[in-house]
């Protein structure tokens, strides 16, 4: 037995040196480590079985020249098998016991560990559980697992039962005690499914977080610190639009591209995406010096500085902008410069017309004069049946470029979409600030709805429309279904782990001047034509009276240049309504202009 023990020890030593299972960190023992132990034992058994078989052949052979004690190498097969099994059980069991003990002692009962409920009992959920449970530096402690798949409910993950989504209520929070967060770990991060989960969770005082898709595990990029807060963008009710069209990159290749309003929300993202292409030069025009500087500094890491041309200037300044055109000779223009805040523009029609109409006409005319290939105007759904000055000025600009398209070699294209999440002055940053201040969140109307898309989505679609456009089109984007702002507010409160109305209340303040309850992407009588991209359509816009309306717009531009900023607001708005007959003011002083009997009142106000 002593000699046999020595032989077995040497054989096992050789096998373990070959597979090296001892290199694994014991407190992080995984299935891979157990496989290495098993392979080492199997190799040892194979060597010993073969050795015993060969020894038997040699000793029973009459021609053997060796005088070796047969008992030393005559191993019992049962003996070897039982020994290997005991070694495997002992080594694996001790490793698992050490691992579990280590985490129980040092991490599982850690005082500052955050108690969480894990949603997801599939592969993603199981991987996430291991990530949270075994990570030596994790900040989380899983106390319950929830899923919405009936086939998984009632089963166990590491001894923890999988509960139904309907069990996610105050009773479960009471049972587990001290739960602070819900972590969603599912492979199919479908916005509709996320919305259903959040609808249940938002009734509870839980912060809702999500872990990246399982593909990130393959890339080795996921750790506990990558768990992020669920964003409103995740709950749009549709899958994110992602365009990967090589034709778009090809269309920008070697071109000089100008982006007006390049430091704004849409413009700056357009600039970032275009900078990643192989364009010859990128001219960024904006009058906001600080914001333009920030964009310039950011682009240094994307594009060579000699390919960037930041221009501090006003699109309304025709003389200055012509010098820019002479110097840079752009091939393609994305016109995103505009005033966009509805209530502000309702009080400042003079400035709204100057920038949104005159500014657009200046850039559009220069595009024609300097043989620009394509002029792409970024418009808004507020230009459809406008109820406010901002929307009306954008509709006038749409009409102007459509009229110019019929008499120019330049292709003029309009892109029309709704609200973008997180843009300057939009509802999301407003709600974020109000929550931070302790509330209440302010909403203008309980039934108000808006279309939403993310800024990157909008900019991808604008570029795609620029490529497919031939001139004269008004492209509208499929933005999914409209979102009720009341629901949006409640979700944002829930995502912060707060409850409405207990922690944060919501206050209805009434519609602002010119504000609609429901936005539209198409005007009355407009239909759409499909394009090769399922998310982009062409609005069939009437063009019968373009020449007449073009003359009216030119008259408006000449008029605004000749009057003082304190000139009659009513007269300016009256001229806008003549150009855009569907412009009907709402909740505004200018509703009087929609009444035929109001002419006398306007003339009286003008005289005064």
Active-site residues: which are they?
Answer: 382
CB 230 within 8 A of CB 495: yes
Sign of CA dihedral 459, 417, 525, 411: negative
Strand partners, 335: 260, 377
Q: Using an 8 Å Cβ cutoff, are 417 and 458 in contact? A: yes
Integer Cα distance of 253 and 158 in angstroms: 54
CB 477 within 8 A of CB 535: yes
Q: Classify residue 485 by burial, with Cβ atoms within 10 Å: 0-12, 13-18, 19+.
A: buried
Return the ∠ at Cα 554 (arms to 548 and 556), rounded to 5°: 105
Burial label for 422, CB within 10 Å (0-12, 13-18, 19+), is middle
Distance from CA of residue 307 to its chain's centroid?
Answer: 28
Q: How crowded is the C-beta side of 76, counted as CA atoms within 13 Å?
A: 5
Tokens standing for residue 469: 């456009």
Structure tokens at 17: 């040196």
* Residues paired with residue 311 on neighbouring β-strands, in sequence order: 285
Nearest in space to 483 (alpha carbons), one of 183, 184, 192: 192
CA 605/CA 601 separation, integer angstroms: 6
Task: Report CA-CA distances (Å) from 289 to 131, 302, 311, 352, 393.
Answer: 46, 20, 9, 20, 25
Q: Residue 447 carries which DSSP code?
A: T
| Cβ-based burial of 96 (10 A; exposed 0-12, middle 13-18, buried ≥19) | middle
Our separate counts of H helices and E strands in the chain read: 22, 22
Distance between CA atoms of residues 328 and 219, nearest Å: 43
How does DSSP assign 576-605, residue by residue?
A: HHHH-TT----SSGGGGGGSGGGHHHHHHH
Nearest C-alpha neighbor of 235 from the set 268, 199, 266: 199
**Tokens matching residue 151:** 């086939």
Pairing of strands 449-450, 483-484: antiparallel
Q: Is the dihedral of CA 187, 189, 193, 198 positive or negative?
A: positive
Chain centre to alpha carbon of residue 85: 52
Give the ranges where 353-414 is alpha helix by DSSP (H). Answer: 360-369, 389-405
Render 312-356 in DSSP notation, one character per residue: E--TT-HHHHHHHHHHH--SEEEE------HHHHHH-HHHHIIII
DSSP label of 221: -
């Amino acid at each position: 037995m002593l000699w046999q023990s020595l032989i077995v020890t040497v054989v096992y030593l050789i096998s373990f040196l070959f597979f090296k299972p001892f290199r694994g960190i014991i407190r992080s023992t995984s299935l891979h480590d157990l496989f290495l132990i098993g392979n080492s034992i199997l190799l040892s058994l194979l060597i010993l079985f073969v050795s015993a078989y060969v020894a038997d052949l040699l000793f029973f052979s009459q021609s053997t020249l060796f005088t070796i004690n047969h008992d030393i190498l005559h191993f019992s097969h049962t003996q070897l098998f039982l020994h290997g099994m005991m070694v495997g059980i002992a080594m694996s069991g001790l490793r698992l016991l050490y691992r579990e003990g280590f985490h129980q002692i040092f991490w599982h009962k850690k005082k500052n560990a955050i108690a969480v409920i894990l949603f997801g009992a599939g592969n993603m959920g199981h991987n996430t559980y291991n990530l949270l449970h075994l990570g030596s530096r994790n900040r989380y402690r899983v106390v319950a697992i929830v899923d919405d798949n009936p086939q998984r409910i009632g089963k166990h993950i590491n001894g923890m039962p999988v509960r139904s989504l309907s069990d996610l209520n105050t009773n479960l929070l009471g049972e587990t005690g001290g739960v602070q967060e819900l972590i969603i770990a599912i492979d199919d991060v479908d916005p509709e499914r996320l919305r259903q989960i959040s609808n249940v969770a938002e009734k509870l005082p839980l912060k809702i977080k999500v872990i990246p898709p399982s593909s990130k595990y393959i890339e080795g990029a996921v750790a506990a610190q990558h768990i992020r807060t669920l964003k409103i963008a995740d709950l749009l009710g549709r899958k994110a639009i992602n365009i990967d069209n090589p034709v778009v990159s090809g269309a920008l290749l070697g071109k000089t591209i100008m982006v007006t309003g390049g430091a704004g929300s849409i413009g700056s993202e357009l600039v970032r995406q275009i900078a990643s292409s192989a364009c010859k030069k990128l001219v960024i025009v904006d009058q906001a010096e600080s914001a333009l500087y920030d964009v310039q500094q950011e682009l240094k890491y994307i594009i060579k500085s000699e390919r960037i041309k930041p221009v501090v200037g006003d699109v309304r300044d025709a003389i200055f902008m012509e010098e820019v055109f002479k110097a840079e000779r752009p091939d393609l223009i994305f016109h995103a410069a505009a005033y966009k805040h509805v209530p502000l523009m309702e009080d400042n029609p003079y400035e709204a017309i100057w920038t949104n109409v005159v500014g657009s006409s200046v850039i559009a005319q220069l595009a024609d004069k300097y043989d620009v290939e394509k002029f792409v105007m970024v418009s808004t759904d507020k230009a459809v049946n406008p109820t406010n000055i901002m929307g009306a000025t954008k509709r006038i600009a749409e009409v102007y470029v459509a009229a110019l398209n019929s008499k120019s070699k330049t292709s003029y294209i309009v892109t029309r979409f709704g609200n973008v999440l997180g843009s300057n002055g939009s509802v999301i940053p407003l709600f974020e600030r109000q929550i931070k201040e302790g509330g209440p969140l302010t909403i203008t109307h309980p039934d108000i709805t808006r279309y939403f898309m993310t800024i990157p989505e909008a900019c991808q679609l604008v570029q795609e429309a620029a490529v497919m456009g031939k001139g004269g089109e008004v492209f509208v984007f499929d933005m999914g279904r409209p979102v009720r702002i009341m629901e949006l507010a409640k979700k944002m409160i829930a995502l912060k782990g707060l409850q409405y109305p207990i922690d944060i209340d919501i206050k209805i303040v009434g519609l602002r001047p010119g504000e609609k309850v429901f936005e539209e992407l198409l005007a009355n009588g407009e239909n759409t034509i499909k394009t090769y991209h399922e998310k982009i359509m062409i609005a069939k816009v009437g063009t019968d009276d373009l020449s007449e309306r073009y003359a009216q717009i030119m008259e408006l531009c000449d008029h605004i240049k000749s009057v003082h900023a304190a000139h009659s607001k009513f007269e300016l708005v009256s001229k806008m309504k003549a150009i855009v007959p569907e412009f009907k003011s709402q909740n505004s002083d200018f509703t009087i202009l929609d009444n035929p009997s109001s002419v006398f009142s306007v003339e009286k106000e003008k005289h005064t």
